[in-house]
Amino acid sequence: MSTFEAALEDLLRRVIREELQAHLSSRLPSPSEAPSGKLSYSILEAAEVLGVSRNSAYRLVGTGALRAVRVGRRYLVPADALRAYLQAASDS
C-alpha cells in the first residue's frame, strides 16, 4: 500500500468514526434531557435506541456486550449502560 493510500484510508476511518460518534450520541438523550428522569430501558426500547432488532438487543445482553439488570422476568438496560455501549461502539 502506498503512502497516499494509507493516508487516504486513515482519513476515511477518522471521518467515519467522527460521523458515527455524532450520530450515535444524538440518538440517546443525556441524563439531564432524559424524559421524566428515565433510568432504564426495556430491551425493546434499547433496541429502538440502538437501531437494532429485539433479538439483536437480547443477543447483546446475552453476550455481555450490553449490560442489563434482571428484574423478575424482565431485563432492563440502565441508561448509563446504553450510553457506555454507544460510546464504545463509536470509539471502535
How is the chain split into domains, by residue range?
A: 3-91
User: Greater confidence, 3 or 90?
Assistant: 3
Q: Residue 58 and residue 4: Cα distance in Å, rounded?
A: 42
Q: Is the pTM value of this prediction over 0.85?
A: no
Architecture of domain 3-91: Orthogonal Bundle (1.10)
Strands (E), 11-91: 40-42, 69-71, 74-78
Tens digit of each residue's pLDDT (9 = 90 or more) over 6-53: 888 888 888 888 887 777 666 665 555 554 568 899 999 999 988 899
Number of other residues whose CB lies within 10 A of the CB of residue 69: 12
Can you give the pLDDT at residue 27?
A: 67
Cα 14 from Cα 54, distance rounded (Å): 30
